[in-house]
Amino acid sequence: MAVLKDFIRISDTIWELPITYKEGMRVPARIYATQKLMENMDEGVIDQVTNVATLPGIVKYAYCMPDGHWGYGFPIGGVAAMDLKTGVISPGGIGFDVNCGMRLVLTNLTYDEVKPQLRKLVDRLFARVPSGVGGSGFVRISQDEFRHVLEQGARWCIKNGYGWQEDLERTEERGCISGADSSKVSNKAIERGFKQIGTLGSGNHYLEIQVVRPENVFDPQLAKTFGITQPEQIVVMFHCGSRGFGHQVATDYLQSFLKVMEKKYGIKILDRELACAPFFSPEGQDYFAAMKCAINMSFANRQVILHRVREVFAEVFNRDPEDLGMHQVYDVAHNTAKVEEHIVDGKPRQLLVHRKGATRAFGPGAAELPEIYKKTGQPVIVGGSMETGSYLLVGVEEGAQTFFSTAHGSGRTMSRHQAKKQFHGKKLLEDMEQRGIYVRSVSFSGLAEEAGPAYKDIDEVVQATERSGISKKVTRFIPIGNIKG
């Protein structure tokens, strides 16, 4: 557990370790958390966030968000901005599941309308959206065509009939980050990914039907702007990423960086999981272009899943998806590195912002936002466990303090192995159904890994983000139907 006496308490929810804490730190490390979250923060987070603070070119602070827990290289919840000229790019600061992200979709249905059809909805969604390790989607394309997907992202999906033009407006980067170059991707990565468009995967990935209770609308005006307009409204949320493709891209370049990092560039690091290369080096730029391919694959993956969700709802309710009000609120990415302009010490500066298990959260007026959200700020989707619920937040101007980054979920409190020892999947499924949550899962062991107590208190995490001034809560969603990998 965290030793709080080592920290300087900057505010109620900001805890800082100075550069004297560990030899080699170039900037202080900051953790955003309530006292309760800090007292239960695992030691691995502190070790990792201070290791990140030693990386070349890091600017201002190494950050960890309130949902922080031990990860690979960076803690999950880690954020670091690098100077473009002197800084590095690190797969350990992005993650293996590149652009593991969230998508939130509205309906105009109410709980009373959906409840009689809930089992049918979940069963059909379970059949239409493959989940679990491996898993092939229904989009059948060649490896050459898959390379077009990698460079076009969700735009490829819209052109091929898997969605609506407006979906792009409501997706980060309009569903396609520029600069993706499929020639920088290995054949092995292509082989692992070209059949996986439209699939959930395993682990903490899910597709969930949720309800908005009136008492869980915290900002009615913002909620209305985002499409939450009636009591007991039903929404759909899902969480998934770039599958085996993104994992292979990260693996390939980690191995590449380990070969050149010290011998060619003289970079020494405290943890080989932070393997990196100068951003403007040939190796760094190749990885950046390949990583963008994984970002785009993930946007395409979630776009096809949305298409399947609309199909299922249309069949079950015998109504057109547009008539059902199935408009997307937003799609937000985790596990990325992006070049962004931020104000540092009063001056605009181009930075490479790594967000590992953290969500971009721009405030009102940001150039990166679509017109529909310019006045409100960016919708931020924070997923909780399948037992507890999730949140819709919004970015705020004060979020500049973390380069407009916030929490991405509730964050684990125990390992998957520990959760499987402590919980029994079949009993968990039965208990959840008694509480009104109908679940379909590929395996009982996988379900046990995702038990609610294996995660931090989502309400505490969101409270920490709001009290820190890095995002603001709008609504809370309660799960009623869930598909787990």
Q: Is 466 helix (H, G, I), strand (E, B) or coil?
A: helix
Q: Which of 307, 408, 417, 424 is catalytic?
A: 408
Closest to 89 (Cα-Cα) out of 120, 58, 60, 131: 58
Annotation-wise, does 354 bind a ligand? no
Q: Is 31 helix (H, G, I), strand (E, B) or coil?
A: strand
* Residue 408 falls in the annotated catalytic set: yes
Annotation-wise, does 208 bind a ligand? yes
Annotation-wise, does 484 bind a ligand? yes
Identify whether the C-beta of residue 459 lies closer than 8 Å to the C-beta of residue 216.
Answer: no
Identify whether the C-beta of residue 213 lies closer than 8 Å to the C-beta of residue 479.
Answer: no
Owner of token pair 């390790």: 133
How does DSSP classify residue 157?
A: H
Annotation-wise, does 385 bind a ligand? yes
Annotation-wise, does 330 bind a ligand? no
How does DSSP classify residue 412?
A: B
Annotation-wise, does 335 bind a ligand? yes
Annotation-wise, does 409 bind a ligand? yes
Identify whether the C-beta of residue 328 lies closer than 8 Å to the C-beta of residue 47.
Answer: no
How does DSSP classify residue 27?
A: S
Annotation-wise, does 51 bind a ligand? no
Annotation-wise, does 205 bind a ligand? yes
Closest to 79 (Cα-Cα) out of 478, 468, 479: 468
Annotation-wise, does 408 bind a ligand? yes
**Residue 143: enclosing H or E segment and its boundaries?**
helix 143-152
Annotation-wise, does 40 bind a ligand? no
Annotation-wise, does 390 bind a ligand? yes
Cα 53 from Cα 160, distance rounded (Å): 44
Annotation-wise, does 90 bind a ligand? no
Half-sphere exposure in the Cβ direction for 330 (13 Å, CA): 27
**Residue 208: enclosing H or E segment and its boundaries?**
strand 206-212
Annotation-wise, does 426 bind a ligand? no
Annotation-wise, does 67 bind a ligand? no
Beta carbons within 8 Å of 101's beta carbon, 6+ residues apart = 172, 239, 240, 241, 298, 302, 331, 332, 333, 334, 335
Given CA atoms 248, 100, 456, 377 in this order, what sign does their dihedral have?
positive
Question: What are the φ/ψ torsions at residue 371 (nearest 5 degrees)?
Answer: -55, -35
**Residue 59: enclosing H or E segment and its boundaries?**
strand 58-69
Q: What share of the chain is helix, strand, coil (3-state, %, to 5)?
A: 40, 25, 35
CA dihedral 349→354→357→358, nearest 10 degrees, is: 0
Closest to 331 (Cα-Cα) out of 127, 96, 143, 158: 158
If 0-12 CB within 10 Å is exposed, 13-18 middle and 19+ buried, where does residue 346 land? exposed
Annotation-wise, does 97 bind a ligand? yes
Owner of token pair 């959930």: 200
Closest to 382 (Cα-Cα) out of 170, 66, 11: 66
Cα 76 from Cα 71, distance rounded (Å): 5
Identify whether the C-beta of residue 482 lies closer than 8 Å to the C-beta of residue 119.
Answer: no
Annotation-wise, does 206 bind a ligand? yes
- Residues marked as binding for Mn(2+)? 97, 205, 239, 334
The residues annotated as belonging to the active site are 408
- Residues marked as binding? 97, 204-208, 239, 334-335, 383-386, 390, 408-411, 484
- Residues marked as binding for GMP? 204-208, 334-335, 383-386, 390, 408-411, 484
